[in-house]
Structure 1
Amino acid sequence: MSTRQDTRRVLFVVHTVASANRLLDLVPIFDSDLRVELLFTCPDASAIPTGVDHCFAQLGILPISWTQALDSKFDLAITANHRGDLRKLSAPLMIVSHGVGYTKNSARKTENGKRKTENGNTVYGLTRDWLLHDGEVIPDALVLSHREQWHRLARDVPEALGTAVLAGDPCLDRLRASAFLRERYRERLGVRPHQQLVVISSTWFSRSVFGSWPDLFRQLIAELPADEYRVAAILHPHVWFGHSPHQLRLWLADCLRAGLLLVPPVEGWGATLVAADVVVGDHGAVTTYAAALDHPVLLAAFPETDVAPGTCVHELGRRAPLLDRDRPLRPQLDQVIAGFRPGQHRAVADLVTDLPGEAAARHRALAYELLGLAEPAEPVLTPPLDPDRLVPDTHGKPGSALAFRVTGGRRADGVVTLRRHPADVFRARPLAAPRLTDQHLVVHTEHPDPALRQAAEIVFCHPAELGGGPEILLAANPFCTMLAELTAEGCLLHHRDGTRSRLTPEAAVDPLVLASAAFLHEQLPARFVVQVAAQRVVVRVTPG
């Protein structure tokens, strides 16, 4: 039996993890209101329901079945999709956009199974096929983020115009409200102050980045020096749950070993986007939000026939440069970053919403009107994205790699200079791999590729991985010169003759940098200087 029985019941209809991301931005409009109870369900007709139950469990939500939802009465139902038997729900129905407005063309079949002939496509969510059933308008309230959508609706489905409500974009508002946490997000991702965070974003389907250019991830990581860049991947939830998280991690296993940050599909993507220095993407909502946040954007895929004309995504395709697959990638990336000017994507942002900062208030006003309740007296909330939800998939600490190819040497002034590239993706196609001379190999003692371990001049581990002691690990890798034990203070080198050297930097630096710098000395001095990327660090050497 329920403890609270005098509440208005709001049903969130969550078809997919992608729509969960959208609907979670609306949950705070009911913050602390004892008059309202939220319930959640996933329709049986959902195209990709996998992952929704896990999302519910992470948030502590106890969902009801779709059958129970259809058999019950609610005071309001809110969804970000048009599929399923939504019209059979006993509740006023409020539909919000699935992504960044209504921007995607989608081929849809008629009842007799034939494809639509309206240029082969309909705009998802904003045409007669999606909004009408037997001539009746399905939603009681259709939420739009921009007047551009209003004008399209008036042209294509005038019957539904009476249900349309301009209410802004809650996702963009929340991203902008989180901007002050940018450095926290970057720290959570392991991005150091002198590094550029490159985010690769892919929507789903065959014409997306991951569908049409899956090697981009390893090619980009292979080209970018590891101490100057970090690379993160944001993939559409349909990629995660259309194939399975296990399969996705397996496809990207070498990239993960090379330090790729694979961002979780719920909430973490927004914090990563705020933290980005540049975004390489496609026609998906995430890439468009990146432009709206005033980030430099490069397009690695952009199928124009999939994009509705006149929308913010269409405007992005007009303005953002295309990445040339037949040229080295790093110069193109650096050129876009160096040439970017603040406000360059203002036209894109202006088409995402024409009510910036007002989405939470307007969505709350609409929801409470449909509920027949007075709004709470307290201000509506737009909570920033939680840094603690930003826990990317990677090997070891964020941004670290399990193997490096290192080049460098000692200058006339004694300073050791280094440049490092992840070794796991170095076998990407020749165009992506820079030529390295006088290189040495640094590999984790538990790396799954024995060929890399056996070829390494330096093997490394953390203290908890020493097992029976350094002698065992040195014996298991007979061709290496030294074992580097990474500590909180720096690096402890175990030499083959049984001696040890403790390397302590005077500023924070990746301890593997210290090991490589030591390798380049014929005889270790009591003190030396190493430079990697923009970092110049003094290192003290003492007996271990």
Structure 2
Amino acid sequence: MLDVLPVFAGDERITRLFTLVPGSDFGADALSVIDSLGGRTVPWSEASGHAYDLVVVASPKGELSLLRGPQVLLPHGAGFNKSIPGEGSADSASGLDPAYLRRNHAPIALHALAHPEQIARLAATNPQAARHAKVIGDPTLERVLASSSLRERYRAALGTGARELLVLVSTWGPESLIRQHPGLPALLATQLPYDEYQLALIVHPNERSLLGTYELAERLAPALDAGMVLADPHEEWASVLIAANALVTDHGSAALYYCATQDRPVVSVHRAGGELIPGSPMDVLLCRVPQLGRAEGIVDALRAYRPGPARAAARLAFARHGEAAGLLRTEVYALLGLAPPAHRVAPRLLPSPAPATRVPAAFDVRVEATTDGVRISRHPAGTGPPGHHLAVEHGAADERLARSASLLYRRPIPTSEAPLDLAWTADGWTRHALSAYPNCRSAAVLLPSGRCLLRVRGHARTYAVQVEPRPEDGRIVRLDPAVALSAVHASLVAGRSPSADAIRMSCLVGERAFRVTFRPATDAEEAQVL
């Protein structure tokens, strides 16, 4: 509804009221979204006793005949891919089910659909309903397409950087990803290196409403603690899809919006069941993309995707690209008997998504020696087997982890506004950390300049560490200095120490190589104030 109603924007003749048709198990969160936006809601008991100039509905279900006025049916979702066992007609798409369309005796003035094939499916089961159907396009897709140029902004908001953003999409019900594979997000967090991949999860609003956001977050706690983003179901889900590099999906239709904007890897976790309709756009997609068997095979499954299936599925679900807002406005104003406003109607851009609420600050670091340096692979502590060392950010992680750390480091903190300030020097804090944490082998500070100072237990001097940014296709990739610290720490504890000259080494992170330099720090560097 909130994607559609802007066709009336700027028209003082129109008043928008919202009501919730009784009977849904998932309705409470819908009204809370409207309330959060300041929309005026009307109780069903009041709404069903009045006449309206136009009634816009998102589903044919419920006692819609009690709402008096010409109705515009705008089914939500894309592609009509699912039937709901035990509900309506067997093997009939939920939004095209003749059992509901015939039961609704209200005057359907317009059944707005996204593709001619949908009208053909409707006509095959309900010719009378098909007479009121028109191909309008998909208003939600219009917002997604209009917002596609904001991809880099969305990735920046999520904190993705140069990592691959892998998005998991779950529909609702017993065949959904979140029901069939509840542990998959946490398993993927153990498999995918933190500096190479970011995880996000989109869960259908029905499932979130059924569980509640708190309960859902508690069930997903291991993955959220590892840095996974849980997208808001109102608008953020679409922003996250635009930002994604790859998708893991069940048979829910959200994947089709991703497919319509880009032909990037899609992997299926859907198993045969009674909900997916044969020949639907999602069925076409899932039959042609790699299937994920175990979480350990995720990288191979992503590499097995070949371009083509995503675009093909989207072509079966969407038509009239770029026209939905204008076509819909023309139709609804004709039903109202009004001339539309003179100003152009355009899709509203999607907002930036929120970043992960929990960012890991302790990592099991796996180190592999190479010919000219080391390969570093970090995983959030406790999500997999121990690595070469435990690296922990002091002041951001559990104290028990800090006391177990082999490498303890500190990031810059905001300057105090106290009238009498107290601050460590780089030398002072590294000495203090090694004294306060006897299990710690190395202590380091990250300076605002991007340079680091590292002290190794038993070494007489601190070391200045610097990592060079990497040019890549006209852009610059910067490595978190904490990763470079792990590379130098591993080298130094293995016995490789610089003399007066600097040592240059390669730090490999995934397929990228970064040049790292370390040397004995100067007195001035040691005296820098944190």
Q: Determine whether 1:76 maps to 2:48.
A: no
Q: Match of 2:28, SS? A: coil
1:13 corresponds to:
none
Partners of 2:227 and 2:356 within 8 A in 1: no
Which position in structure 1 is the counterpart of 2:160?
191
Kept after mapping to 1: 8 A contact 2:11/2:341? yes
Give SS of 1:232's match: strand
Equivalent residue letter for 1:360: A
1:520 corresponds to 2:490: yes
Letter in 2 for 1:442: A
Distance of 2:178 and 2:265 partners within structure 1: 20
CA 1:105–1:371 in structure 2 vs 1: closer, same or farther (change >3 Å)?
same
* Paired position in structure 1 for 2:125: 156
Q: How much does 1:59 deviate?
A: 2.5
Question: What is the CA deviation profile of residues 291-316 of structure 1, one whole-angstrom value per residue up to 9, with x for unaligned ones?
Answer: 23322211012445212233212211
Q: What residue number does 2:311 align with?
A: 346
Q: Secondary structure at the match of 2:153?
A: helix
Structure 1 residue aligned with 2:232, among 264, 279, 290? Answer: 264
- Matching of residues 164-313 of structure 1 within 5 Å: 164-193=133-162, 195-293=163-261, 294-313=263-282
Name the residue aligned to 2:391. Answer: 442
1:17-40 CA distance string (max 9 Å, x none): xxxxxx221132122222222222
Deviations 1:124-145, CA, capped at 9 Å, x for gaps: 12122211227x3563322111
Q: Deviations over 1:251-303 (max 9, x none)?
A: 12221221212212121111111121111111011122222332221101244
Q: Call closer, same or farther: CA 1:55–1:526 in 2, change over 3 Å.
A: farther
Q: For the residues of structure 2 that align with 1:240 and 1:473, how far apart are their CA atoms?
A: 44
- Whether contact under 8 Å (1:258, 1:422) holds in the other structure is yes
Contact 1:220 1:330 in 2 (8 A): no
| One-letter identity of the residue aligned with 1:347 | A
**1:315 and 2:284 aligned:** yes
**CA distance in structure 2 between the aligned counterparts of 1:287 and 1:277, rounded to whole angstroms:** 13
- 2:66–2:106 contact (8 Å) kept in structure 1: no
Tell me how far apart the structure 1 counterparts of residues 437 and 253 of structure 2 sit (CA, whole Å): 47
In structure 2, the residue corresponding to 1:71 is in which secondary structure? coil
- What is the deviation of 1:416? 4.2
Report 1:297-446 matches (<5 A): 297-325=266-294, 328-336=297-305, 340-341=306-307, 343-387=308-352, 390-396=353-359, 401-408=360-367, 411=370, 413=372, 415-426=373-384, 439-445=388-394
Where does 1:84-103 land on structure 2 (aligned, <5 Å)?
84-103=62-81
Note if contact 1:445-1:473 (Cα within 8 Å) is conserved in structure 2.
no
Over residues 35-76 of structure 1, what are the superposed CA-to-partner deviations in whole Å (9 max), with x where a residue is unaligned?
222222333433212323432244233433333322343221
Q: Secondary structure at the match of 1:141?
A: strand
Question: Aligned runs of 1:3-82 on 2, under 5 Å?
Answer: 23-82=1-60
Percent identical among aligned pairs is 32
Distance 2:199 2:257 in 1: 18
Equivalent residue letter for 1:351: L
* Corresponding residue number in structure 2 for 1:433: none
- The 1:475/1:53 distance shift into structure 2, 3 A limit, reads farther
Secondary structure class of the residue paired with 1:105: coil
In the alignment, the residues of structure 2 paired with residue 85 and residue 441 of structure 1 have an alpha-carbon distance, to the nearest angstrom, of 60
Aligned partner letter, 1:150: I
TM-score normalised according to structure 2 size: 0.83
Q: State whether residues 183 and 275 of structure 1, in contact with CA within 8 Å, keep that contact through their aligned partners in structure 2.
A: yes
2-structure distance, mates of 1:88, 1:488? 64
1:454–1:480 contact (8 Å) kept in structure 2: yes
Counterpart of 1:33, as a letter, is D
Count of matched residue positions in the alignment of Structure 1 and Structure 2: 492
Partner amino acid, structure 2, of 1:80: A
CA 383–426 in structure 1, closer or farther in 2 if over 3 Å, else same = same
Aligned Cα root-mean-square deviation (Å): 3.1
Instruction: Give the residue type in structure 1 aligned to 2:488.
Output: A
Decide whether aligned partners of structure 1 residues 315 and 417 sit closer, same or farther in structure 2, where only a CA change above 3 A counts.
closer
* Distance verdict in 2 for CA 1:252–1:446, change over 3 Å: farther
Code of the aligned partner of 1:385:
L
Q: Which residue among 398, 402, 406 is the counterpart of 1:457?
A: 406
Shift in Å at residue 84 of structure 1? 3.0
Structure 2, unaligned runs of 5 or more: 417-421, 470-477
Output one character per residue of 1:127-171: Cα deviation in whole Å (capped at 9) or x when no partner: 22211227x356332211112221121121122122212211122
Deviations 1:154-210 (A, max 9, x none): 1211221222122111222322222222222222222223x3221111111121111
Query: Which residues of structure 1 form unaligned runs of 5+?
Result: 1-22, 110-115, 428-435
Change in Cα spacing, 1:426 to 1:239, as seen in structure 2 (3 Å) is farther
Instruction: Give the Cα–Cα distance (whole angstroms) in 2 for the partners of residues 283 and 382 of structure 1.
Output: 27
Q: C-alpha displacement at 1:100, in angstroms?
A: 0.6
